[in-house]
Structure 1
Amino acid sequence: MSRPATFVPPPGARAYSLRTARGEFAVVDAPVPDGVEPRGVALLLPGFTGSKEDFNPLHVPLAERGYRTVAVDGRGQFESDGPENDESAYAQEELARDVLAQAEAIGAPVHLLGHSFGGQISRAAVLLDHAPFLSLTLMASGPAQISVSQQQRVKLLRDALAVMTMAQVWDAIQAMQTPEEVDTGSFDDGLDNRADLRRRWLGNKPAQLLAGGRQLCTEPDRVTELAAVPMPFHVLSGALDDTWPPALLDGMAVRLRARRSVIEGAEHSPNTDRPLATARAIADFWDVHPN
């Protein structure tokens, strides 16, 4: 998961519940500051076990480039409500239709960006209806299912959720962290941040995690379908990634005829690993595809 340095919205941004035709969704909305020419609006979708706060480091640099950014918790994710145990509510098409409603509520057309699992949901939304979107950026999100090693981790999580509470699973995750991981960035952003990370974990609905984990492990390759959609694409990733190897993303970019950005010094979460370089790459792409 991405681990934002803070759960406090950045200067100028506000957190609120976005009302849509499919319910309310928790968002962080960062407007363009006074004195900067507005260039567009973007909807940002976080990854599996992540949240809208994963994009906190991107809001200010993107606002300075003229882009209002709205990061959202998906259905059953952190501060957005959803059924506790009904996995059917989190079917990919249901989540994709939520995205279409979110875009309409913030004022389509918008640029769409999805990180990891959020990229798969973004892709599904575009395949349902691309009209609300100016472009699609897939950030650390690959063509099909996640790597075998990550599938094994998801299976462990799914098995744990079958017999443990969310709080017990969190405690088990903490117990598995080595001192080196704690010291170098696994849950190392200070006691208050670890408390926020725990609060975020407990906010997730178990059915959402179970359904999302299954989707990550079984997602088919839909790149050919996506390539037929008449819109611009951007494939962005860190230089290292064990969820979808960068070479796999290189090939996907070719198939999509997409812009390809590789963020040096970043891994699966370039949004938090190297936010300024990531924001620059995103804005450079959006600048070429204005409203």
Structure 2
Amino acid sequence: MSTPRFLTLPPGVTVQQIETPVGSFAALEALPGSGVTERWPAVLVPGFTGSKEDFLAVLQTLAQAGRKVVAVDLRGQYETPGPDDPKAYTCEALGADVAAIASAVGQGEPVHLLGHSFGGLVARETVLAGQAKLASFTLMSSGPAGIIGPRERAGRVMLAELPEYGIDYMWANRMEPEALRAGVPDDIVAFLRKRLLANHPTGLVSMAEEVLNARDRVPELVGCGLDLMVLYGEHDDGWPPLLQAEMAHRLEAECVVVPGSVHSPAVEAPETTAAALTRFWNAAESRMLQHG
């Protein structure tokens, strides 16, 4: 099978394994064209049923600002294997994994951390645990608590059917028809199938429970000492845009709305998203360096 168009690796982006004390994690790594990193690195965490490939369109642009940028598969996602233990897939447990990844990527330097959708809930745990050396935190298309709206309804259907019918059933009867109705090209549909079926079944069920039932931890995040940004699409169908704007206000965080985007700004508006992230990361570094 040929590589889907959007999965063709651009120059400077390579497939990697991030080795940590808690395991090995599949990753895509982008470096500046010169190969010289002048700024602090970034780690990008995908959402539920997502993977590192969700950031492929922004990796090269982000790296050209002079930093290493690493997108990962969480434990149990796509090309990172996971155990049968449901406790390995809680936001807290996955957040500890992300802390280990950030430490491995940073090699003593602070790391810019971004979490997309469910990945935002996971990365929030990394921040709150305080076990990683971080430069900033971005919540992309994420929210203060469990997801709501149409994606919540879809998640609850998955949670009800997945343990009984399995991943193949979910793909054939739910996800593939939706992708075909949306006009997704055949090669991308093939990738989405391959990715979904590679997820650990226990991980899918446990992560679904987590994204649906997460509690609001915004008050605990206030005053964490990091520069914070909330970035979301103008037409987000996950957490409503107004709810994310309210979360940004509660966090005293910068708020960026990506015009025309829905729930995946890095895919739907990569240049706008990458420009916003680079500006935010550069400013966060300047402030940290000024204040020692």
User: TM over 0.5: same fold?
Assistant: yes
Runs of 4+ in 1 over 6 A off after TM superposition: none
Shift of 1:35: 7.7
Partner of 2:281: 286
Output the CA distance in 1 between the equivalents of 2:56 and 2:154.
26
Residues 87/285 of structure 1: CA separation in 2 closer, same or farther (3 Å cut): same
Output the CA distance in 2 between the equivalents of 1:60 and 1:277.
14
Partner of 2:104: 105
Output the CA distance in 1 between the equivalents of 2:253 and 2:276.
13
Residues 178/200 of structure 1: CA separation in 2 closer, same or farther (3 Å cut): closer
Residues 65-104 of structure 1 mapped to structure 2, 5 A cutoff? 65-83=65-83, 85-104=84-103
Output the CA distance in 1 between the equivalents of 2:180 and 2:209.
31
Partner of 1:272: 267
Residues 198-237 of structure 1 mapped to structure 2, 5 A cutoff? 198-237=193-232
Output the CA distance in 2 between the equivalents of 1:122 and 1:63.
21
Counterpart residue identity of residue 154, structure 1: G
Using structure 2 for the length normalisation, give the TM-score.
Answer: 0.91
Output the CA distance in 2 between the equivalents of 1:32 and 1:111.
16
Count of aligned pairs between the two proteins: 281
Shift of 1:132: 1.1
Question: Once the two structures are superposed, what CA deviation does each residue of 1:214-240 show, in whole Å capped at 9, x if it has no partner?
Answer: 111111111110012111100000001
Question: Once the two structures are superposed, what CA deviation does each residue of 1:33-69 show, in whole Å capped at 9, x if it has no partner?
Answer: 2187622200000001000000000011111222211
Counterpart residue identity of residue 8, structure 2: V
258, 265, 289: which one aligns with 1:263: 258
Q: Is the 8 A contact 2:126 2:132 kept in 1?
A: no
Find out whether 1:21 has 2:21 as its counterpart: yes
More displaced, 26-35 or 170-179? 170-179
Shift of 1:148: 4.0
Partner of 1:58: 58
Using structure 1 for the length normalisation, give the TM-score.
Answer: 0.92
Output the CA distance in 1 between the equivalents of 2:113 and 2:101.
11
User: Which SS does the other structure have where 2:7 is aligned?
Assistant: coil
Q: Is the 8 A contact 2:103 2:132 kept in 1?
A: no
Counterpart residue identity of residue 256, structure 1: L
Counterpart residue identity of residue 146, structure 1: I
Find out whether 1:239 has 2:238 as its counterpart: no
Output the CA distance in 2 between the equivalents of 1:11 and 1:271.
18
Identity %: 40
Partner of 1:126: 127
Q: Is the 8 A contact 1:9 1:53 kept in 2?
A: no
Q: Which runs of 5+ in 2 are unaligned?
A: none
Counterpart residue identity of residue 86, structure 2: E
Residues 201/148 of structure 1: CA separation in 2 closer, same or farther (3 Å cut): same
Output the CA distance in 2 between the equivalents of 1:245 and 1:59.
26
Partner of 2:154: 153
Shift of 1:176: 3.6
Counterpart residue identity of residue 172, structure 1: N
Residues 239/100 of structure 1: CA separation in 2 closer, same or farther (3 Å cut): same
Find out whether 1:39 has 2:39 as its counterpart: yes
Output the CA distance in 2 between the equivalents of 1:213 and 1:246.
21
Counterpart residue identity of residue 91, structure 2: Q
CA RMSD in angstroms comes to 1.8
Output the CA distance in 1 between the equivalents of 2:153 and 2:279.
36
User: Which SS does the other structure have where 1:143 is aligned?
Assistant: coil
User: Which SS does the other structure have where 1:113 is aligned?
Assistant: strand
Q: Is the 8 A contact 1:46 1:73 kept in 2?
A: yes
Counterpart residue identity of residue 228, structure 2: F
Partner of 1:185: none
